[in-house]
Structure 1
Amino acid sequence: MSERTPLILVSNRGPCTFERATDGTLRPRRGGGGLVTALTGLVHHRDALWIASAMSEEDAEVAERHGGGAFTVELDDVSYRIRLVVSDPTAYDRFYNVIANPLLWFIQHYLWDLSNAPEIRRAEVEAYEYGYRVVNEDLAAAVLDEARAFDEAVVMLHDYHLYVAPKVIRRERPDLFLHHFVHIPWTQPDAWRVLPADIREDIYEGVLANDIVAFHTRAYRRNFLLCCHELFGLEVDMEAGVVRAPDGREVWVRAYPLPISAQTFQRTAQRPAVHEYEREILRRRREHLILRVDRADLSKNILRGFTAFDLFLEQHPEFREQVTFIAHLIPSRQDVPEYREYLERIEALVAVVNHRHGTTDWMPIELRLRENLEEAIAAYKHYDLLIVNAIWDGMNLIAKEGPLVNERNGVSLLSENTGAHEELAEFALSVNPFDVQEQADAIHRALTMSAEERAWRAQGLKRIIAARDPGHWVDDQLADIEAKRAGRDPLAARPH
């Protein structure tokens, strides 16, 4: 793909959000989430315009100051060209809090208790029509406005918030190249039957309006192809990763595992604040340290992780007062009732485990409900066991960050349902996220493992994690974009 080809990124959350300083000025702050981290790596690699939703009143004010158009912002020594799109607040609330979260998120993580929920009523249908579609149309309109200046352009859309936007763009500008990366799992066909047929069809028509659809793993790629065939009877080539869209176009379906920037993360691990937190950890640590770092999200399987630790202590009492479990949890989506209840259940279970096993000078689980990168990295460097037992996860970068900077040959307990498992399984302790006894046994195995095996596993993880960086991830996608634009055979492109 030529460096001269204009590149437009589109996502719900942008690289920054604005907040008002004490002097009244509006200042940018880094946007949260793994998606922003991934796309920031892309911007480092290639000039791009980044279109995103205005997430706050301050964002909307900045957008208005620039007439709703694009502008440049400097953040962390990086220059971003961005455009913030303001949607009607009621429409945005329906888009985000009714459809994207929880409906689509729950479908794509198999989180619904189908005997009880969801119940699709008029409110949900109207939220899709007058919320989800409206915000998608707003972002698509911004893309079309920016693309008017170009005879050709590549538009890279991101994640589950924007399934409808490609269809809007395709209708007006069939000449634009559309690439859509889905950063969360893609579930099997039956999971999608939760949605009313017309909504389901609208979503798939939107996704299939792209030229390339991308996922983090081969498993999610396979699920998408299977959905296209089973739900809609479309022609699918599983080997080549190609779907014949309803309008006759060939859509390539690809997998690009997301790496982390080893060099950047290792540099962050040497910050003075990290060293200060390390000293505190080393002063207070027992013989063994178990760690998890997560959002307090239902998909992360936090309750079963604590239950497995409870079972481990019950079955191996010799470890009492010898091990501490630090859990860095970031409260997530507290405006969604299921998430508020989940956080309450987490706190209640921690209290039960600490009461059952704790002593006057030892608390088995240390729960830290806050977001503090330096504190988390300090714990990364000194754990003996890292627990990543998610029910389902698109990738899970924590499974890569921890082993990269760990200095104790720490062991990784890794759910087989994380995207990272496809790359790291050989050197991790793989577990079924629903099998609590297996997780308890894995905890015991990790804490009694020989030094030789610990070193072999830790070195293997570091080697895989450091082998690729975000630049490779971007290059792979741009190479496929160029191959498809040039009309090459999908099987002749690089293997996926």
Structure 2
Amino acid sequence: MASPHTASVLVASNRGPVSYTLDERGELTAKRGGGGLVSGLSAIGPDTDAVWICSALNDADRETVRRTGGALDPADTGGQRVRMLDIDARVHADAYNGIANSVLWFVHHMLYQTPLEPVFDAAFRRQWKAYEEYNRAFAEALAQEAGQGAAVLIQDYHLTLAPLMLRGLRPDLRIGHFSHTPWAPPEYFRMLPDDIAAQVLGGILGADRAAFLTQRWADAFTECCHAVLGPGSASGTRIGVHGLGADADFLRWRAHQPDVNERMAALRQQIGTTPDGRPRKTIVRVDRTELSKNIVRGLLAYEELLESRPEWRERVVHIAFAYPSRQDLAVYRDYTAEVERVATEINSRYGTADWTPVELHVKDDFARSLAAYRLADVALVNPIRDGMNLVAKEVPVVSDGGCALVLSREAGAFEELAEDAVPVNPYDIGGMTAALHQALSMGPGERAERTKRLAAQATALPPARWFLEQLAALEG
């Protein structure tokens, strides 16, 4: 690794651009990821001295850090300079699962069943200390790597305390924080203990600039600052909005590779034809089995469609990709099981020898997801609450014949796509049923026109520009 204090652009996030597996012979294999940060760092060019700070997430990652000292092989990272931190596994578990995913995520997505939760007890305070330790490790690594006056972009709810910690270590740096989640309104955010709420807000306000996916989330943040820290408390930090868009060039190229064409053929066979030989309509959803994605209510709305409008029976198939997420948390395992139970129940009640109403897939397969995007007549995106939701933006970009988008008004993407989507209240089963019927009944001409406008809006700020705009705003 290059000597410390040299990087001019730094990114910090819990998950890095690469992860590792360790086989029984002790050999490590790298797997590269994608997303906006990967595209963004690639966009700044090889002449910029950039470094990405991330955490080891599993035993194979930690073994990689032990063997490399944390400086990952550029052959594994696509040429990017990456420093992976070996934070104690128990500290990481408490910070990541105990606080980030079980408290901050729940607050911002408003997921608590408040008669019983949250419970901010001694165990929570112990986990909060781990969250502080985790953030401090990032702040110290950034301080070591950053050159004089460097630009630092800190990512998401895992690292809300790092900006202020880094400010204390390196006041010369230009620090940005970006929130990829929604931001809770003050009355919900104040469920957090007063000192914790103040610490989260104060941590982000340690940045020169705090940015969000939509104006709604940015406004909620400033309202929380006003309510918790007092009027004018956010005045020293600039607030920005950058609505991450879909990467059209990559998606359109990837969606026409041979493996996607193969999966399209397999999906067409699963979908089948109506009794009179016509292709069946398809409703597609692609999600992680994340509590906020509202998969169960989406299935219940589809069930009500089949019950209340029997003319759709045997004429439509719901392709539901529900990829397991956070299965180390019991509430997520229970939710995944409920998704599978409801899908099985619908198939048992309405299915025939020649028609399976719900084709549920739980094994992650990106090529198959793209195939479904291309085939979809209707895309169902109905989260309870979502920072953006890129599926809503990706489907119109790769759709072959035009796709009607049924979109929750609680998705961040709704701010940009509402005009050409079919809007839904994500809690209203009857309303979603009516929206699915409207979308399925939409003529091909209207569907194609809406899809064209949705795709243009969805690609207005592709990942590389999204990243570079933040960098320019921080340097300005």
> Under TM normalisation by the shorter chain, which class is it?
over 0.9
Amino acid at match of 2:226: H
What secondary structure is seen at the aligned counterpart in 2 of 1:151? strand
What secondary structure is seen at the aligned counterpart in 1 of 2:317? strand
Match of 2:356 among 354, 357, 363: 363
Matched residues, number: 460
Match of 2:334 among 318, 338, 341: 341
Amino acid at match of 1:142: A
2:257 corresponds in structure 1 to: 271
Residues in 1 aligned to 2:331 and 2:25: alpha-carbon distance in whole angstroms: 38
Residues in 2 aligned to 1:431 and 1:254: alpha-carbon distance in whole angstroms: 28
What secondary structure is seen at the aligned counterpart in 2 of 1:453? helix
**Which digits, 9 at most, give the CA deviation of each residue in 1:429-481, with x for residues without a partner?**
11111111111001111111122321221111122223432232123212211
Residues in 2 aligned to 1:477 and 1:61: alpha-carbon distance in whole angstroms: 34
1:163 corresponds in structure 2 to: 160
| Pairing 1:148-187 to 2, within 5 Å after superposition | 150-187=147-184
Residues in 1 aligned to 2:9 and 2:168: alpha-carbon distance in whole angstroms: 19
- Give 1:235 shift: 0.6
Q: Residue 185 of structure 2 contacts residue 221 of structure 2 at CA under 8 Å; is this kept in 1?
A: yes
Residues in 1 aligned to 2:299 and 2:127: alpha-carbon distance in whole angstroms: 36
Amino acid at match of 1:386: A
| Pairing 1:39-438 to 2, within 5 Å after superposition | 39-46=37-44, 47=48, 48-68=50-70, 70-75=71-76, 78-129=78-129, 131-147=130-146, 150-235=147-232, 243-244=234-235, 250-285=236-271, 286=273, 287-438=280-431
**Which digits, 9 at most, give the CA deviation of each residue in 1:402-451, with x for residues without a partner?**
11111121111011111111111111111111111111001111111122
What secondary structure is seen at the aligned counterpart in 1 of 2:385? coil
Q: Residue 36 of structure 2 contacts residue 467 of structure 2 at CA under 8 Å; is this kept in 1?
A: no
Residues in 2 aligned to 1:289 and 1:98: alpha-carbon distance in whole angstroms: 39
Residues in 2 aligned to 1:267 and 1:195: alpha-carbon distance in whole angstroms: 45
- Give 1:400 shift: 1.1
Seq. identity, %: 37
Amino acid at match of 1:392: R
Q: Residue 309 of structure 1 contacts residue 440 of structure 1 at CA under 8 Å; is this kept in 2?
A: yes
What secondary structure is seen at the aligned counterpart in 2 of 1:194? coil
**Which digits, 9 at most, give the CA deviation of each residue in 1:193-249, with x for residues without a partner?**
22111111111111110000011001001101111111221316xxxxxx22xxxxx
Q: Residue 5 of structure 1 contacts residue 152 of structure 1 at CA under 8 Å; is this kept in 2?
A: no
Q: Which moved more, 1:178-187 or 1:472-481?
A: 472-481
What secondary structure is seen at the aligned counterpart in 2 of 1:292? strand
Residues in 2 aligned to 1:445 and 1:75: alpha-carbon distance in whole angstroms: 47
Q: Which ranges of structure 1 fall in alignment gaps of 5 or more residues?
A: 237-242, 245-249, 484-496
**Which digits, 9 at most, give the CA deviation of each residue in 1:234-269, with x for residues without a partner?**
316xxxxxx22xxxxx20011100012100111101
Residues in 1 aligned to 2:461 and 2:162: alpha-carbon distance in whole angstroms: 31
Residues in 2 aligned to 1:12 and 1:478: alpha-carbon distance in whole angstroms: 19
1:10 corresponds in structure 2 to: 12
Q: Which moved more, 1:177-186 or 1:192-201?
A: 192-201
What secondary structure is seen at the aligned counterpart in 1 of 2:386? coil
With the length of structure 2 as denominator, give the TM-score of the two structures: 0.94
After superposition, the Cα gap between the structure-2 partners of 1:71 and 1:354, relative to the gap in structure 1 and judged at 3 Å, is: closer
**Which digits, 9 at most, give the CA deviation of each residue in 1:309-359, with x for residues without a partner?**
011111110111111101011101111111111111111111221122112
- Give 1:22 shift: 6.4
1:37 corresponds in structure 2 to: 35
Amino acid at match of 1:126: R
Q: Residue 72 of structure 2 contacts residue 84 of structure 2 at CA under 8 Å; is this kept in 1?
A: no
Residues in 2 aligned to 1:233 and 1:42: alpha-carbon distance in whole angstroms: 35
Q: Residue 177 of structure 2 contacts residue 207 of structure 2 at CA under 8 Å; is this kept in 1?
A: yes
2:277 corresponds in structure 1 to: none
With the length of structure 1 as denominator, give the TM-score of the two structures: 0.90
- Give 1:106 shift: 0.4
**Which digits, 9 at most, give the CA deviation of each residue in 1:283-309, with x for residues without a partner?**
343421111000001100001100100
**Which digits, 9 at most, give the CA deviation of each residue in 1:158-212, with x for residues without a partner?**
0000011112111111111110001010110011122111111111111110000
Residues in 2 aligned to 1:183 and 1:163: alpha-carbon distance in whole angstroms: 12
Amino acid at match of 1:50: W
Larger RCO (alpha carbons 8 Å, 6+ apart): 2
Residues in 1 aligned to 2:153 and 2:249: alpha-carbon distance in whole angstroms: 26
What secondary structure is seen at the aligned counterpart in 2 of 1:154? strand
- Give 1:66 shift: 2.7
- Give 1:5 shift: 7.5
Amino acid at match of 2:471: L
Residues in 1 aligned to 2:181 and 2:132: alpha-carbon distance in whole angstroms: 20
What secondary structure is seen at the aligned counterpart in 2 of 1:19? strand
Residues in 2 aligned to 1:5 and 1:74: alpha-carbon distance in whole angstroms: 19
Residues in 2 aligned to 1:215 and 1:134: alpha-carbon distance in whole angstroms: 25
Q: Residue 16 of structure 1 contacts residue 29 of structure 1 at CA under 8 Å; is this kept in 2?
A: yes
Residues in 1 aligned to 2:436 and 2:373: alpha-carbon distance in whole angstroms: 17
Q: Residue 7 of structure 2 contacts residue 51 of structure 2 at CA under 8 Å; is this kept in 1?
A: no
Residues in 2 aligned to 1:85 and 1:462: alpha-carbon distance in whole angstroms: 38
Residues in 1 aligned to 2:191 and 2:176: alpha-carbon distance in whole angstroms: 26
- Give 1:381 shift: 0.4
- Is 1:439 the equivalent of 2:432? yes
Q: Which ranges of structure 2 fall in alignment gaps of 5 or more residues?
A: 1-5, 274-279
Residues in 2 aligned to 1:280 and 1:193: alpha-carbon distance in whole angstroms: 49
Q: Which moved more, 1:178-187 or 1:470-479?
A: 470-479
Residues in 1 aligned to 2:310 and 2:211: alpha-carbon distance in whole angstroms: 47
Residues in 1 aligned to 2:383 and 2:336: alpha-carbon distance in whole angstroms: 16
What secondary structure is seen at the aligned counterpart in 2 of 1:6? strand
Q: Which moved more, 1:22-31 or 1:409-418?
A: 22-31
Residues in 2 aligned to 1:67 and 1:369: alpha-carbon distance in whole angstroms: 36
